[in-house]
Amino acid sequence: MKILFVVPYPVGKAPSQRFRFEQYFDILLEAGYIYDIAPFLDDKTWSILYKPGFLLKKSIGIILGFFRRLFLLFQVSDYDFIFIHREAAPIGPPWFEWVVAKVFKKRVIFDFDDAIWIPNTSESNKIVAGIKWHQKVDSICRWAYKISCGNAYLRSYALQFNSSVVVNPTTIDTIRLHNRVKEQNAFKVVIGWTGTHSTMKYLDPIIPILKNLEEKYAFDFKVISNQPPSFTLKSMVFTVWNKESEIQDLLSFNVGLMPLEDDQWAKGKCAFKALQYMALGIPALVSPVGMNTEVVDDGVNGFICYKQEDWYRSLEKLIVDANLRKELGEAAREKIERIYAVTANWDNFLALFQ
């Protein structure tokens, strides 16, 4: 069996690809599958994609991506499955998906981990927001052989168009990557958050709470991202995200934060930040939005914060009590290994190709 992975980004770069299917590549080989990967963007375009400026180079990179997709059509007949992550092209109608499914009659596995049918405009994508063609998600769902969704909310959407839909959660490699557990007896507590600049807005309601806590306790608030935050805190430490050091950087946290707004886009989130924290034995504090409430068990392996006061009280408890951090962290690691690890999900993933 041969699988073609049609993906937006170069291999090893984007979290959605790394943690949804790239870490299963060795398992596919062991199961007897052969695969190839076809990114839309090349490495050069990816390296400048979220940087300001470079409009001409970005435009050239996207045009080249469309040529790659066109030439790829001459190869799809060689494959048994076409696995499409999110979309074949970032803008325009789903012409590639239509040709593959309707002309070549290929078995398309459509995978997504966000509410990608909802327009989500930010500074980095506002130029192309009008031609993103979000309505194509409905059509690709209809044409797909199977649909792989990151959570139950996404599955309920896809079921409107196709009955062959499975929840394939974003998973953590607890053996080769997230394979260490945080020591919680630190002298100075580090409260942490990691994510891209586009999700940093979710921290806004937490900043006043951290400022209040600063008046009473000594701690660091560490932000790991591709761009520095615009807010200021006397406790803040900024670290540029780096794939090579990401696990070591995350292990500097004693507590991990995942606040979200309660909107339709956030309901499609797959609790990835919380999964990463918990896999490393770090208690997660989350908003009660979407999959967060499935991953975090309140008071068992982290805290679900419904109100501003909950964020303050939960953080205060964890700042002062190392034993509580250790207890919740151990329970968090256990849940990841049991439900959200690659080893717990590989049968579910392999079933996509059966």
- Domains, the chain, ordered by start: 2-168 (3.40.50), 189-340 (3.40.50.2000)
Q: What is the mean pLDDT of residues 249-267?
A: 95
User: Phi, psi at residue 275, to the nearest 5°?
Assistant: -60, -45
Q: Which of 114-128, 139-153, 192-206 has the weakest average pLDDT?
A: 114-128
Q: What is the mean pLDDT of residues 266-290?
A: 96
Give the pLDDT of residue 187. 81
Give the pLDDT of residue 261. 94
User: Phi, psi at residue 122, to the nearest 5°?
Assistant: -135, 175
- pLDDT greater than 80 at residue 58: yes
Give the pLDDT of residue 130. 60
pTM of the model: 0.93
Band (pLDDT 50/70/90 cuts) for residue 128 is: low
Q: What is the mean pLDDT of residues 256-283?
A: 96
Closest CA to 4 of 39, 40, 36: 36
Over the stretch 169-222, which tens digit does the pLDDT of each residue have?
A: 999 999 999 999 999 987 899 999 999 988 999 999 999 999 999 999 999 999
Q: Give the chain's count of helices (H) and strands (E).
A: 15, 12
